[in-house]
Structure 1
Amino acid sequence: MNFRKYADILAGNLLITFCYACITVPNHIINGGVTSFSMVTAKLINVPTVYLVNGITLLLLGLCYIGLGKEYFLGTIFSCFSYLVLFNVFSKTGFTVQLPKIASVLISALGVGTGYFLCLHAKATTVGFDVLALIFHKKKEKLNVAYTMGAINLAVMLYGGFTFGVLAIAYGAIFVGIQSIVLNKLQTIESKTEMGK
C-alpha cells in the first residue's frame, strides 16, 4: 500500500470538506458540482435530491473505473469514503467560519483548489465532475483538467440560474474561477518539477 498516495488523498479531502462544511455551506456559496446539479434537476423532475446525488455519484464511479482505470478507481473509493466521513465530522461540530462573503469565497476556493490538486496528484478523484474532466483530458490531452472542471461547474451554475439567483451565480463564478486557477497553477508547478527531474 502506498502510504503517501492515501495520505495525500486524505489531506485533500480534509481541505475540501472543511471548506465546504465550515465555509461554503453555512455562507450559502454555490460552486456547481454534483450536489448543485442534483438540486436543480430534482426541482425540475420532482425527485428527491438525495436520489439524484447517489445515482450520479454511482454513475461517475462507474465512469471512473471504465475511463480512468483501476489505479484511479481504488484511490477514488478511498477519497469518497474520506469525504463522507470528514464532511459529517465537520458538519457535526457546528463550527463555521464567519467572514465577509467575498473573503469566504476566496479562502474556500483556495482550499478546495488545493484539495483537488492533492487528490488528482495522488491519482484519485472526488467522484465529482473531475471524473469527466480527467476522461476528457485522457481522450484529448490538450484539454486542461482544471479549466475543464471549471467550465463544467460554471455550466451547472448557469443551468441552475433561476434556482440560485444572479448574485449567488456571481459569487459561485468567482469561486470556480479561483479554484480553477489554483488547481491549474499547482498542476503546472508539478509538471515543471517532474520535467526537471
Structure 2
Amino acid sequence: MNWRKYRDILIGNLLITFCYACITVPNHIINGGVTSFSMVSAKLLDVPTVYLVNVVTLLLLGLCYIGLGKEYFFGTIFSCICYLALFNVFSKLGFTVHLPKLLSVLLSAAGVGAGYYMCLQAKATTVGFDVLALILNKKWSKLNIAYTMGVINLAVMLYGGFIFGVTAVIYGAVFVGVQSFTLNELQKYARKRSGAIANT
C-alpha cells in the first residue's frame, strides 16, 4: 500500500475540513461546489437539499470511476471518508475562527486550495466538481485544472445568485479566485520541482 498517498489525502482533507467547518460555515462564506449547487437546485425543484447532495455526489463518484480510473476512484473513496469524519469532528469541537470577512475569505480560500493540491497530487478527488475538471483535463490536456474548477464554481454561484445575494456572490468569487490561484501556483511549483529533479 502507498502510505504516502493516503497520508497526503488525509492532510489535504484536514486543511479543507478545518477551513470549511471553522471558517467558511461560521462566517457564512459560499464558494460554489456541490453543496451550493444542490441548495439552489433543491429550491427550484422543491426537494430536500440533502437528497440532491447525495445524488450529485454519487453521480460524481461514478464519473470518477468511469473517467479517471481505479487509482483515482480508490483515492477518492478514502478522501470522502476522511472528509465526512473530519468535518464532523471539527463541527463538534465548536472551534471557530472569527476574523474580518475579507480576511476569513482569503485565509480559508488559500487553505482549501492547498488542501485540494494535496489530494490531487495524491491522485484523489474530493468528490466535488474537481472530478469534472480532471476529466476535462484528461480529454484536453491544455485545460488548466485549477482554473477549470474555478470557472465551474463561479458558474454555480452565478446560478445561485438569486438565493445567495450579490454580496455573498462577490465574496464567493474572491474565494474561488484565491483558491484557484493557490492550487495553480502549488501545481506549477510541483511541476518545476519534478522537472529539476529529473534533470539532475
- TM beyond 0.5: yes
Task: Name the SS for the 1:127 alignment partner.
Answer: coil
Residues 9-37 of structure 1: CA distance to partner in whole angstroms, max 9, x if unpaired? 00000000000000000000000000000
Could you tell me how far apart the structure 1 residues matched to 2:40 and 2:89 are? 26
- Match of residue 138 from structure 1: 138
Cα deviations across residues 58-84 of structure 1 (Å, max 9, x unaligned)? 000000000000000000000000000
Shift of 1:193: 1.3
2:193 counterpart residue number:
193
The answer for unaligned runs of 5 or more in structure 2 is none
- Quick one: distance in 1 between partners of 2:167 and 2:43? 20
CA distance in 2, matches of 1:51, 1:182: 32
Who is 2:49 aligned against?
Answer: 49
Distance, in Å, in 1 between the alignment partners of 2:26 and 2:108 is 12
What is the Cα deviation at residue 192 of structure 1? Answer: 1.1
Q: Which residue of 2 aligns with 1:168?
A: 168
Counterpart AA for 2:79: S
Distance in 2, matches of 1:48 and 1:41, equals 9
* 3-state DSSP of counterpart to 2:141: coil
Helix, strand or coil at the partner of 1:107: helix
After TM superposition, which residue ranges in structure 1, 4 or more long, deviate above 2 angstroms?
A: none
Correspondence 1:63 to 2:66: no
Superposed CA deviations along residues 147-188 of structure 1, whole A, max 9, x for unmatched, are 000000000000000000000000000000000000000000
Equivalent in the alignment of 1:82: 82
- Partner Cα separation in structure 2 for residue 138 and residue 192 of structure 1: 20
How many residues are aligned here?
197
Q: TM-score, normalization: structure 1?
A: 0.99
Gaps of 5+ in 1: none
Q: Which amino acid aligns with 1:2?
A: N
Q: Which residue of 1 aligns with 2:124?
A: 124
Report SS of the residue matched to 2:42. helix
User: TM-score by structure 2 length?
Assistant: 0.98
Counterpart residue number, 2:181: 181
Identity level (%): 77
